[in-house]
Amino acid sequence: MGTNWGWSKVKAFLSVRNWPVGQKWSTCPNFSGASTGAAGSTELQSIWLTLYNDFVRVLLLNLYYPPDTSATAKMAKIVVDALAAKHDITILCGRPSYHPTERRAWHFFQSEIAGRVRVIRVGSTAYPRIQMKRRVLNYLSYVFLAVPRTLFVDCDVVLAMTDPPFEGILGAFVSLLKGKPYVYNIRDLYPDMAVGGSILEPGLLSRVWERLHCWALRRVTRVVVLGEDMRRRIVGKGVDPARIVIVRDGAETPTAGSSPDDRDPEVIRAIRGDFRFVLVHAGNLGFYGAWETLLAGAGKLAGEGIGLVFVGDGAQRERLQAAAAGIPNVRFLPFFPGSKIPSVLAAADAHIITVKRGLEGVVVPSKLYGILAAGKPIVALAPRECDAASLGEKAGFAISADPDDAGEFAVVVREIFREPRKLRAMGEAALAVAPEYERAGELCKLVAIIEAAGQR
């Protein structure tokens, strides 16, 4: 595999250069069209090209991949695009089933090739995501077809995400069969998520699942987590901290001189309605949120001109709509097209991020970074150990409330509603800190981790 540069040398290289947090990595050689005008940028490229002068063959395991529209499908595509600038990627996924933009006919195996990217779709079942029990068949049929198929895929490193929820175990098994290094990119932490979200009752199944997952974690070359709160969780499972790396999802930050012309006033009006002050929860309405506290807190604000607007969908939406039927200042809207995300972000006076107690570090809401890039304050209805709360209070872009205390939530919302200068300062703090989590830099970290593992 060419020059055998391991992770220790990569880490030493990064520490010696002492690049500041928020370094613009537009010159990273893993992104096409990189500029090499500045001396420092030229040095960065030349050193990286010296470190990694051979391509790596990556096998990516994840059930969902576009035209699926799940969060992991979108992130898998972003990671693949970054890797494919220099490396060969094979994605082993299933038939589209997660609100796909298009369906695919059944084939035992189906391959799609575009440049250095090869997508192999196994003939898994494709029940819609809203059919929870049947989705298990999607998971199982994917596993039974995908594992044998991996034996015929040449690779230097195995990369797994977390769809299906036991994909981390599958990735460890495949890496063992193939004798290859294993990078595990944890998006949601299972079985902790299933048990903490009341999807799975504690018992024999959850205990066996946890033991298998801990076995998988012991086998990894590198564990990639989304935040400091998740890192603490993984360390608590007995994993060597030296093998855990934080790579945040990040967001694209606005360029200098960019204008808000892409905001749609119709979307903004639809969200704001007649409220004087609007809290927006945009995203999936899953099992992780402190929903009862959020609705009860919103009810305490009724009649004060403060509205709570949910934009999105998910397994809990119907239940939440029924629970909010008697709360006049709570509204539900469907997802808007992706092109309207800037308008959704702009419509809020403040955005809600919620994680119920016990799930801190199990789920790490990635929408945090888009909110920061939009320069919007955050109300974190979450334990203070969550990154959204701890980072937000430290940097000044968020205010937090106990996820079990509706009264405290109402108090903190009233505080920013009645103090416009504080609200404005929080927005300014969000914009100031956003470049620290710029997506291109985070992607370069992930690419470097995968390259180092593949060239061990």
Select the CATH number that applies to the domain covering 7-250+438-454 from these four: 3.40.50.2000, 1.10.274.10, 3.30.465.10, 3.30.390.50. 3.40.50.2000
CA distances for 317 relative to 312, 313, 323, angstroms: 8, 6, 10
Distance between CA atoms of residues 411 and 203, nearest Å: 39
Name every residue whose Cβ is closer than 8 Å to that of residue 53 and which is 6 or more positions away in sequence. Answer: 2, 3
Between strands 157-160 and 57-61, the pairing is parallel
Name every residue whose Cβ is closer than 8 Å to that of residue 253 and which is 6 or more positions away in sequence. Answer: 373, 434, 435, 438
Distance between CA atoms of residues 456 and 443, nearest Å: 20
CATH for 260-435?
3.40.50.2000
Q: At what angle do helices 167-178 and 132-150 cross, to 10 degrees?
A: 10
Reading the chain (456 residues) residue by residue, the pLDDT tens digits are 434 444 454 454 444 334 333 344 444 544 444 333 333 443 344 344 444 447 899 999 999 999 998 889 999 999 999 999 999 999 999 999 988 889 888 899 999 999 999 999 999 999 987 777 888 999 999 999 999 999 999 999 999 999 999 999 999 999 999 999 999 999 999 999 999 888 889 999 999 999 999 999 999 999 999 999 999 999 999 999 999 999 999 988 766 555 555 789 999 999 999 999 999 999 989 889 999 999 999 999 999 999 999 999 888 999 999 999 999 999 999 999 888 999 999 999 999 999 999 999 999 999 999 999 999 999 999 999 999 999 999 999 999 999 999 999 999 999 999 999 999 999 999 999 999 999 999 999 999 999 999 887
Residue linked to tokens 């790596």:
56
Kindly state the DSSP code that residue 360 receives in the 8-state scheme: B
Distance between CA atoms of residues 197 and 203, nearest Å: 15
Q: Provide the phi-psi class of 97: left if phi over 0, else alpha when psi is between -120 and 50, else beta.
A: alpha
Q: How many CB atoms lie within 10 A of CB 262?
A: 12
Instruction: Give the pLDDT score at 258.
Output: 53
Report yes or no: 216 and 185 within 8 Å, Cβ to Cβ. Answer: no
Domain boundaries, the chain: 7-250+438-454, 260-435
Distance between CA atoms of residues 305 and 317, nearest Å: 24
Are 7-250+438-454 and 260-435 the same fold in CATH? Answer: yes
Instruction: Give the pLDDT score at 44.
Output: 43
Report yes or no: 379 and 412 within 8 Å, Cβ to Cβ. Answer: yes
Report yes or no: 416 and 422 within 8 Å, Cβ to Cβ. Answer: yes
With CA atoms as reference, report the closest residue to 143 among 161, 166, 127. 166
Residue linked to tokens 């079942």:
125
Distance between CA atoms of residues 435 and 136, nearest Å: 39
